[in-house]
Structure 1
Amino acid sequence: MAKILTSRVDKLLSSMGYGSRNQISAMGKAGQLRLDGAPVHDVSKRIAISANLPDRLQIAGELLDPLPGVVILMHKPLGATCSHKEDGTLVYDLLPPRWRRRNPLISSIGRLDKETSGLLLLTDDGDLLHRLTSPKHHVSKTYRVRLDRPLSGTEGELFASGSLMLNGEEKPLEPADLVAMSDKEALLTITEGRYHQVRRMFAAAGNHVTDLHRESFGALSLPEDLAAGQWSVLSAAQVAFITAQSA
């Protein structure tokens, strides 16, 4: 039988960004915490960390945020940066402010540069982050690429060869799959995540990327109805699915 994880109420809520333990204690005394409809005045009480806890625990009249281990699928907009510290708009600014205070931090699974849009995954699960970004798991990522000049027709063979060496690197790229959509547009699927990899691949082929948009990550595709800047929390089944894809 699987061991049931438990946590003190104040420790759990503090780690999820709701405030300090003293602030959580004050909320309990004020009757702002309710479990299954009953007030929780003693925040030292231990509760089971179950999948349905967010439906059972209310804080100031609102249901609990997603539990630790959350995975978020975001449609990253142009101009947002995958960083916790840089100036300008950060992808984390698109999440509820309280989520910026979670411990462990929510971090992006890999990065999309400031001028790249599309599917971005974020999580506070360090093991999952490592699994999905580790080169040995070969998780595929597909990008829609728009180019400054027409494709020459040789890029597909070059990218699939497994011999393309990027400037300043000592190891050739893993084979990648290119599908031409028009003379200046293509879909490129890679299984690595090197620095500015897609842009550098086309630069090595004598072209320049003008627009870059990630359409899929592993088995997940960007939902058509998810507008730039919007996000959704993945279900347990979706998380299990992408984890299995990286086994």
Structure 2
Amino acid sequence: MARLPTTRIDRLLSSMGYGSRSEMARLARAGGITLDGADLTDVSARLPVTPDLPARLRIDGEPLDPLPGLVILLAKPLGMTCSHKEDGPLVHDLLPKRWRRRDPAISTVGRLDKQTSGLLLLTDDGALLHRIISPRQHIRKTYRARLARPLQGHEGPLFASGDLMLEGEEKPLAPAELLPLTPTEALLTITEGRYHQVRRMFAAAGNHVEALHRESLGGLTLPADMAPGTWRLLTEAEIARIFE
């Protein structure tokens, strides 16, 4: 039987952004850390890292934050960025402030630009992040695009051809699927993640994207009742749906 991994309590709490190890020691001495309802004063002790730990360990009376390995589903609103390279508030600002200090850090799984809304994942699991964004996985991403001008009918065959070249690139795009919804609205499903790809594809077809919203990633769809700016943790079953 495999042994469960263990960790020092102060090291775990520090890596989760609660404070330095010395600060955790002071908090414990003040009765601010409890395990199974009892004061835990020795934060140098090691604990098994089990899924039930957040329900058993309390910090200042509050349940422990989710353990490392979390995956967050966020309904990205317009006007927020995924990177300091863009001006504007970061999507990380929607999460608890303490989570900005976690190590390993919570990173976005790919990016949505400032003017794109919809499904965005964040995780501190580097291996999972790279698996999702790897071109070898061919994970489908579906966007709802509102266009400045009506579709002309040539866009679907063009996007599906596998021959479309974006300006400034030397490799054609992989085939993509276009589903018109109205004359000026369509769903576009791609399997790549090139810079501003959807916007540039419609530009290459002679149109302009006025609004863009990502609806799904793999088999995972953003729930219709998730308001912009809200988030929740994904279950293991939901994570698996990304790769369906």
TM-score by length of 1: 0.96
1:65 CA drift (Å): 0.6
Aligned to 2:168: 168
Pairing of 1:1-247 with structure 2 (within 5 A): 1-84=1-84, 86-242=86-242, 244-245=243-244
Which amino acid is the alignment partner of residue 16 of structure 1? M
- State the secondary structure of the residue aligned to 1:211: strand
Which amino acid is the alignment partner of residue 120 of structure 1? L
Which amino acid is the alignment partner of residue 104 of structure 2? P
1:84 CA drift (Å): 4.7
Distance in 1 (alpha carbons) for counterparts of 2:10 and 2:194: 41
5+ residue gaps, structure 1, are none
> What percent of counterpart residues are identical?
66
Distance in 2 (alpha carbons) for counterparts of 1:121 and 1:53: 24
Q: 1:86 to 1:104 in 2, by over 3 A?
A: farther
Distance in 2 (alpha carbons) for counterparts of 1:189 and 1:24: 48
1:38 CA drift (Å): 1.3
Distance in 1 (alpha carbons) for counterparts of 2:40 and 2:13: 13
Distance in 2 (alpha carbons) for counterparts of 1:221 and 1:237: 13
Post-superposition Cα deviations, 1:145-181, rounded to whole Å, max 9, x if no partner, equal 0000000101000001111111111111111000000
Aligned residues: 244
| Mapped contact 2:33–2:60 kept (Cα < 8 A) | yes
1:86 CA drift (Å): 4.7
| Mapped contact 1:35–1:57 kept (Cα < 8 A) | yes
| Mapped contact 1:7–1:47 kept (Cα < 8 A) | yes
- State the secondary structure of the residue aligned to 1:175: coil
Distance in 2 (alpha carbons) for counterparts of 1:50 and 1:101: 22
Post-superposition Cα deviations, 1:209-233, rounded to whole Å, max 9, x if no partner, equal 0000000011111111110000001
Post-superposition Cα deviations, 1:28-65, rounded to whole Å, max 9, x if no partner, equal 11111111111110000100111111111100000011
5+ residue gaps, structure 2, are none
1:236 CA drift (Å): 2.4
1:83 CA drift (Å): 1.5
Q: 1:3 to 1:156 in 2, by over 3 A?
A: farther
- State the secondary structure of the residue aligned to 1:4: coil
- State the secondary structure of the residue aligned to 1:189: strand
When the two chains are superposed, the root-mean-square deviation of aligned CA atoms in Å is 1.1
Distance in 1 (alpha carbons) for counterparts of 2:63 and 2:56: 7
Which amino acid is the alignment partner of residue 128 of structure 1? L
- State the secondary structure of the residue aligned to 1:229: coil
Distance in 2 (alpha carbons) for counterparts of 1:211 and 1:219: 23
| Mapped contact 1:145–1:212 kept (Cα < 8 A) | yes
Q: 1:96 to 1:84 in 2, by over 3 A?
A: farther
